[in-house]
Structure formats: C-alpha cells, structure tokens
Amino acid sequence: MNPIKIDPTQPEPDALHTPYKGSDKEFTGDVTLKRLVWAGDSAEVELLGVWFSAGARTKPHIHDVDQVLHVLEGTCAYGDENRVTLVRAGEILTIPKNVWHWHGATPDAPMMHLSIRKMGNSTNWEVEEKNWASQYAELETR
C-alpha cells in the first residue's frame, strides 16, 4: 500500500485513486471526489475526500450503512428531515443508516470533508427531495 495524498490536484499513479468530478445526478455545483481508501485497499472501509465549491452540495440521498463525515476545511451544511446543522472544520458528524439527508458547502465558502463508510454499501439517490431546496435557501439568508 502506498500513501495517498489528500489533494484533489494530485493525480495518483493508478486510476482507482485519481480525482474525478461529481455527477449532476448526485450533486449540484462543482464537486471533486477522490477515493482515498477503496476496494483493493481495504475489505472493510471506504474513505472518500470530497471537495465542494461554495454553494455546492449533494442531492438528497439515503445510505444503507452509517456514514461519518469529518470536516477538514470550511463549514459543512448538513440537512435531514428535521433541521440544518453546521459542522465546522475539525468536527465529525455521524449519519445513521437509512436517514434521508444532504450535505455540502455553505453558500459563501468552499468546504472539504472525508466520507467514511463500511465497504460494500449502496446509496439511494432516487429519494423525494422534500424540503431540500428551502432548507438550503434559509442558509443564504442567515
């Protein structure tokens, strides 16, 4: 195993760890992902570095395993059916499995987090959007 640099501008020697852009199906705005620990590296854990430009965020989704977000840069806006929580650099948030949620950068600044999940999981992107847009619009007026 070779060290992987947590930097979206540094391509890796193998395609598995090379940074890639997030799809319009899963994100709004400019998002770059980098597989830091993935199949072939670990049989149990996946670790993604995710860089969000200001205002970029995931679309609502549900995971079938718990997800841990560790914010390394900026402030992460996390929304679920109950409220929006701001998670700052250095803080960790655990999202239980089967919880409808979204997360991303605040409207005015970029953000980077690590996403940590059990290997072999799936994400359901075909969920109702609910109050996703209005939750985020409230951040813009704060």
Tens of pLDDT, residue by residue over 66-96, are 999 999 999 999 999 999 999 999 999 999 9
Domains and CATH numbers, the chain: 15-141 (2.60.120.10)
Q: Rounded mean pLDDT of 40-63?
A: 95
On the question of pLDDT at 30 being above 90, the answer is yes
pTM of the model: 0.92
Residues 6+ apart with CB under 8 A from 76: 69, 86, 87, 88, 93, 103, 104, 105, 111, 113
CA–CA dist 106, 77 (Å, integer)? 6
In this structure, what token pair is assigned to residue 92?
């960790």
Q: Burial letters for 53-70: b for 16+ Cβ neighbours within 10 Å, e otherwise?
A: eebbbbbbbbbebebebb
Tens of pLDDT, residue by residue over 99-140, are 999 999 999 999 999 999 999 899 999 999 998 888 878 776
Give the pLDDT confidence score for residue 140 in this predicted structure: 67
